[in-house]
């Protein structure tokens, strides 16, 4: 798969300083010539800049970077150190609902000597067309009975609270991998029609698998939820850190323990057919901040250590 890499763009912030001295006429202040710190060079890597895609930003500055944070597509992000003191990265997501057009990533960095650097990095989102799938499921999963409404609302609030967290520690230093070896049978972004009624698009990918097939953690993560939910069935949510989460759904069993850290490749459960399904399979949703992105796009840019 071909990934796009942008040409690097250099930015710098001019910093002025004041010195004082004494002379026959008394003490006077004078303004020194502006001295620019080392420029911040920004580039990106992605399968494409489109709705549902993950984008890996790279920041470099001679002399070293101490921190990077910013805002992309209306959501804050936090950077992480790369292989050298001069290089940092950030993983950002373009939500499925993002409108095509130009956007500016706003960056606030600090060099190792404490100098602040602010920059803007342009990204233009291009349109993307998704196919439609038509499925038949039990009627109660299209129009839930009144008796289940309180449960559904309670779970909606629970998921919102869990996925809103931003853990400061990045656990996915070993990169991401597929949680299942099964065939990819339903792709991200597909528009779903259940029993003839249009519903929300598919915000994840599905892997074929027989009930009981092992499911592994796609990256190291803290188990923040492991329970049965109305629509997604038996579900495990992993907090990978820095606002990145995986949801592994429709499981037949859970081997992970809430509060434990699962290593990449560790078995956290098994394929099942719980929740709103037409048969046994594994559903994997990946969130970067508030953005739902195609997990396969994350494998493309963060499938190995940076």
How many Å apart are CA 107 and CA 33, to the nearest integer?
26
The pLDDT value recorded for residue 27 is 37
Interval 1-30 mean pLDDT = 39
> Does 9 have pLDDT greater than 60?
no
The pLDDT value recorded for residue 20 is 29
Q: DSSP for 66-101?
A: EEEEEEETTEEEE-EE-SSTTEEEEEEE--TTPPSE
> Does 225 have pLDDT greater than 80?
yes
- Cα 67 to the center of its chain, rounded Å: 19
* pTM given for the model: 0.84
Residue 301 belongs to what H/E stretch? helix 295-302
pLDDT single digits (tens) 246-273? 999 999 999 999 999 999 999 999 999 9
pLDDT single digits (tens) 97-120? 899 999 999 999 999 999 999 999
The pLDDT value recorded for residue 296 is 96
Q: How far is CA 288 from CA 120, 162, 229, 297, in A?
A: 20, 13, 21, 12
Query: In the chain, what are the domains?
Result: 4-125 (2.60.40.1590), 132-302 (2.70.70.10)
Q: Which residue has the higher pLDDT, 174 or 28?
A: 174
Q: Tokens for 258?
A: 């809430």
Q: Tokens for 61?
A: 């500055």
7 burial type by CB count under 10 A (0-12 exposed, 13-18 middle, 19+ buried): exposed
The pLDDT value recorded for residue 276 is 81
């Amino acid at each position: 798969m071909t990934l796009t890499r942008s040409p690097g763009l250099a930015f710098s912030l001019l910093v002025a300083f004041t010195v004082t001295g004494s002379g026959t006429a008394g003490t006077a202040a004078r303004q020194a010539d502006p001295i620019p710190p080392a420029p911040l060079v920004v580039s990106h890597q992605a399968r494409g800049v489109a709705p549902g895609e993950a984008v890996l930003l790279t920041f470099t500055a001679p002399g070293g970077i101490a921190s990077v944070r910013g805002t992309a597509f209306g959501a804050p992000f936090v950077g992480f150190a790369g292989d050298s003191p001069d290089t940092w990265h950030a993983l950002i997501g373009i939500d499925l609902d993002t409108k095509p057009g130009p956007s500016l990533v706003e960056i606030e960095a600090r060099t190792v000597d404490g100098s602040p650097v602010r920059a803007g990095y342009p990204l233009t989102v291009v349109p993307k067309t998704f196919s439609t799938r038509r499925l038949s499921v039990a009627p109660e999963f299209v129009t839930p009975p009144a008796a289940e409404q309180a449960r559904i609302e309670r779970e909606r609030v629970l998921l919102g609270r869990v996925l809103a967290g931003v853990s400061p520690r990045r656990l996915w230093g070993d990169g991401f991998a597929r949680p299942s070896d099964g065939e990819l049978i339903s792709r991200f972004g597909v528009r779903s029609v259940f029993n003839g009624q249009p519903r929300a698009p598919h915000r994840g990918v599905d892997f074929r698998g027989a009930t009981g097939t092992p499911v592994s953690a796609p990256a190291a993560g803290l188990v923040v939820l492991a329970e049965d939910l109305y629509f997604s069935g038996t579900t495990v949510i992993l907090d990978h850190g820095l606002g990145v989460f995986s949801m592994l759904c429709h499981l037949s069993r859970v081997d992970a323990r809430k509060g434990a850290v699962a290593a990449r490749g560790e078995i956290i459960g098994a394929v099942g057919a719980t929740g709103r399904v037409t048969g046994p399979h594994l559903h994997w949703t990946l969130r970067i901040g508030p953005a739902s992105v195609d997990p396969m796009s994350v494998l493309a840019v963060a499938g190995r250590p940076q």
